[in-house]
A = this chain, B = another copy of it.
Amino acid sequence: MNTDKFTNVLTPAEVLVAEGFWKNKMELARTKVIPYEWEALNDRIEGATSSHSIMNFIIAGELTEKRKTGNAVSTSDKDFQGMVFQDSDTAKWLEAAANILMWHKDNELEALIDQVIDIICAAQQPDGYLNTYYIINGLDKRFTNLRDNHELYCLGHMLEAAVAYYQATKKRKLLDAMIHYVELVDRLFGPEPEKAKGYPGHEVIEMALIKLYRITKDERHVKLAKYFIDQRGQSPNYFEEEAVTYGNGTLWNDTYFKMGYFQAHKPVREQDTAIGHAVRAMYLYCGMADVAKETKDESLLLACQNIWNNITEKQMYITGSVGSSSTGESFSFDYDLPNQTAYAETCAAIGLVFFAQRMLLMEPDSRYADIMEKTLFNGIISGISLDGTRFFYLNPLESVPESCEKDEKCQRTDATRQKWFGVACCPPNIARLLSSVGSYIYTVKEQAVYQHLFIGSTIQHMINGEAVRIETSTNYPWDGKVKIKIVTKNPVEFQYAVRIPGWCKNYKLSLNKETVKQPVIEKGYACISRTWQDDNIIELDFSMPVVIMKSNSNVRENTGKCAVMRGPLVYCLEEEDNGGNLHCITMDINGTYQSVWEPRTLDGVTAVYSKGRKTISNRNELYMEADAEKTETIALKWIPYYAWANRSVGEMAVWIRT
């Protein structure tokens, strides 16, 4: 295994996002999303689906206190409410809030988090256990349904929150509590004969344990993560045995994916196709990549590469969304990418960004960063309204409001973003991603810096023994100019590798105002190895024309259709700009597409204008002899896909007939 290629993420303290598109999203997360979600977790949003997540911790804490003090627990105690994984909503909010403290000092928020941590820790059992569903409903049943009941999933998310808060504040209370819980899990599950052979029905703990390990350097943490990865899908199947032992009913056995729903149909190293519940799947693949890196496991890396290829070459929307089927919120099968009924869960797209970053850490290759960027700019931020208070769980690429209402196949899609959800995984997940987006810009190794994303930012990092600052300024994605300034007290030798986006066919690269005529390109990165002086400047100018895209001909849904992209952004047509019956519109792949920066449209976007044709119909018959279609030329206005459904309710489509 070529560990020379390995890079590392920067610590949160080393990156500061300073300006531009993503800084605005981060500020949205800080000023709107986090306060809004806090209200939601406490059930104070009028008309929103109840959460009860904080209340579950309070009730569990009271029960724990009563049990410790020997007071009888009466049946009049309040009930657990919400999904079996409701704890994870609080955990994800906590992680997002902790992320914010890494780049924005906020004593009030920190005090609130400390309060929440006190509430959480008060519920912890003496042996470390901490899951409100079982604390409230009966501890005797804990760990009897790993397949469905999300205990290890909730632990994983709380562990990630604990790590983030520790990184932000160095406060250890939640971290220590979670380590205590991890130790309990480590005593119960593992490869040793005396331990049970369980693993989570919903993955996430694997990557959480690696995050923990990177702080603690405690080998037990990586070992436990590796165990969960290695044991998954082994025969005899733990979930099947557990179901028999504890009489747990089955659900997914009646579907074609069966144990594949949990990615437990075979050992992970034998898996080469993304399958089953998409968020579960993505989190597993992240855990596999993490363990592969930490244990230098070639066979695991190979499985990750195979699965990556399957996803990105056969199962991914052009927006970077994955998991096309609402049945099981799942991957379906190769090239099955319906637009109107797309499940394309926000959380699954987030998982793809996590996976891309982890693959980049093992092999800097722009194909990972291209997808990471595509997904960030399209399939993820489509999940949140421009004002930060409405959310899509599903991100279809075509929407017809009448179908959302009347067509059962589309009824899980919404024509408008919602205030909150019964299963509220997506809103806090998007918050933790937006609040930490700076960590996806760079990865580094001893004498090299890789820049994957173009975000107005400053990093501070020790490179080759020297404290180097790197400042990026750009108006990306609205234009393709990027200026990178190196600030160093002493000259320092290292390689600066900057990604040339896959979408870009023409670019100019200059170093200190001189064009670099034949830059060295390695795996999609322009690599400049030299001794850097203070105030050295790299400039990139990515030509960013509108590009008309088509799909692989195997994608049934998109035959005869094209989509508009500009830079990393996928565009769409909305009824608001183009009238209804978008299916009657055709676009011209050889036409003129004009980009116009519109500061007052949708909080500021580059819109695209073109001419198209629309069928004129004045006939009432349902079927008639075909003749040359009567069409009229119409002006089309395209907006970035991520910004759809922020105005009037209406039709939307990404893929348009040619």
Chain A interface residues (CB < 8 Å from chain B): 255-256, 312-314, 316, 318, 325-327, 332-333, 336, 338, 341, 400, 402-403, 405-409, 547-556, 559-560, 562-563, 581, 583-584, 586, 589, 615, 617, 619-627, 629, 657-658
Are A625 and B559 touching (Cβ within 8 A)?
A: no
Q: Are A313 and B552 in contact (CB under 8 A)?
A: no
Q: Is the CB of B313 within 8 A of A624?
A: no
A533 nearest CB across to chain B (Å): 39
Residue of B nearest to A548 (CB): B626
Most buried by B among A327, A556, A627: A556
* Distance to closest chain B CB from A487 (angstroms): 38
Q: Please measure, in the bound complex, the distance between the C-alpha atom of A615 and the C-alpha atom of B553, giving whole angstroms.
A: 7
Q: Which 10 A-B pairs have the closest CB atoms?
A: A327-B408, A553-B617, A550-B626, A548-B626, A553-B615, A556-B583, A559-B583, A333-B406, A589-B626, A562-B626
Chain B residues, Cβ within 8 Å of A551:
622-623
Distance to closest chain B CB from A361 (angstroms): 24
Q: Across the interface, which residues of B come within 8 angstroms of A583, CB to CB?
A: 556, 559
Which residue on chain B has the smallest CB distance to residue A616? Answer: B553
Residue of B nearest to A313 (CB): B622
* A314-B622 Cα distance, complex, nearest whole Å: 6
Q: Using A552-B617, A553-B617, A556-B583 as known contacts, say yes or no to A403 and B623 having CB atoms under 8 A apart.
A: no
Q: Which residues of B contact A338 (CB under 8 A)?
A: 409
Minimum distance in angstroms from A353 CB to a CB of chain B: 17
Closest chain B residue, CB of each to CB of A557: B583
Question: Could you write out 26 A-B pairs with CB less than 8 Å apart?
Answer: A255-B408, A256-B405, A256-B406, A312-B622, A325-B407, A332-B407, A333-B402, A341-B409, A409-B409, A548-B626, A549-B623, A549-B624, A549-B625, A550-B623, A550-B624, A550-B626, A550-B629, A552-B617, A552-B619, A552-B620, A552-B622, A553-B584, A553-B617, A560-B560, A560-B657, A563-B623
A63 to B314, CA, bound (A): 61
Kindly list chain B residues whose C-beta atoms are within 8 Å of the C-beta of A657: 559-560
Residues from chain B with Cβ under 8 Å of A552 in the complex: 617, 619-624
User: Do residues B407 and A336 form an inter-chain contact, with CB atoms below 8 A?
Assistant: yes
Residues in B neighbouring A400, C-beta threshold 8 A: 556
- Are A626 and B549 in contact (CB-based, < 8 A)? yes
20 further A-B contacts with Cβ under 8 Å, apart from A313-B622, A553-B615, A560-B657, are: A256-B405, A312-B622, A313-B620, A318-B622, A318-B623, A327-B408, A333-B402, A336-B407, A549-B625, A550-B623, A550-B626, A550-B629, A551-B622, A552-B619, A552-B621, A552-B622, A559-B583, A559-B584, A560-B560, A589-B626
Expressed in whole angstroms, the minimum distance between the Cβ of A463 and any Cβ of chain B is 36
Question: Using Cβ atoms and an 8 Å threshold, which residues of chain B touch A589?
Answer: 626
**A488 CB, nearest partner CB in chain B, Å:** 40
Chain B, residue nearest A547 (CB): B625
Q: Report the copy number of this chain in the oligomer.
A: 2
Which residue from chain B places its CB closest to the CB of A628 in the assembled complex?
B589
Provided the pairs A560-B560, A657-B560 are in contact, do residues A622 and B555 lie with their beta carbons within 8 angstroms? yes
Find out whether the CB atom of B556 lies under 8 angstroms from the CB atom of A313.
no
A307 to chain B, nearest CB (A): 15
Q: Provided the pairs A403-B336, A581-B554, A584-B559 are in contact, do residues A408 and B621 lie with their beta carbons within 8 angstroms?
A: no
Distance in Å: Cβ of A639 to nearest Cβ of chain B: 19
Q: Give the residue among A341, A555, A583, A658 with the most B Cβ atoms within 10 A.
A: A583
A629 cross-chain contacts in B, Cβ below 8 A: 550
Q: Which residues of chain B come closer than 8 Å to A622, judged between CB atoms? A: 312-314, 316, 318, 551-552, 555
CA distance A409 to B327 in the complex (A): 9
Cβ–Cβ < 8 Å partners of A314 in chain B: 622
Residues of B within 8 A of A553 (CB): 581, 584, 615, 617
Q: Is the CB of B313 within 8 A of A548?
A: no
- A624: chain B residues within 8 A (beta carbon): 549-550, 552
Residue of B nearest to A651 (CB): B556
Contacts of A627 in B (CB 8 A): 550
Whether B316 contacts A658 by the Cβ 8 Å rule is no
On chain B, the residues within 8 Å of A563 by CB distance are 623
Which of chain B's residues have a CB closer than 8 A to the CB of A548? 625-626
Contacts of A405 in B (CB 8 A): 256
Residue of B at shortest CB range from A324? B407
- Indicate if the CB atoms of B406 and A332 lie closer than 8 Å: yes
Residues of B within 8 A of A617 (CB): 552-554
Residues of B contacting A403 with CB < 8 Å? 336
Q: How far is the CA of A407 from the CA of B328 in the complex (A)?
A: 11
Task: Give the distance in Å from the alpha carbon of A626 to the alpha carbon of B563 in the complex.
Answer: 9
Closest B residue to A315 by beta carbon equals B622
Please indicate the chain B residues that have their CB under 8 angstroms from the CB of A619 in the complex.
552
Which of chain B's residues have a CB closer than 8 A to the CB of A559? Answer: 583-584, 615, 657
A403 to B621, CA, bound (A): 31
A551 to B555: give the CA distance in the assembly, Å. 23
Contact of A658 among B554, B555, B626 (CB under 8 A): B626
> A43: shortest Cβ distance to chain B, in Å?
25
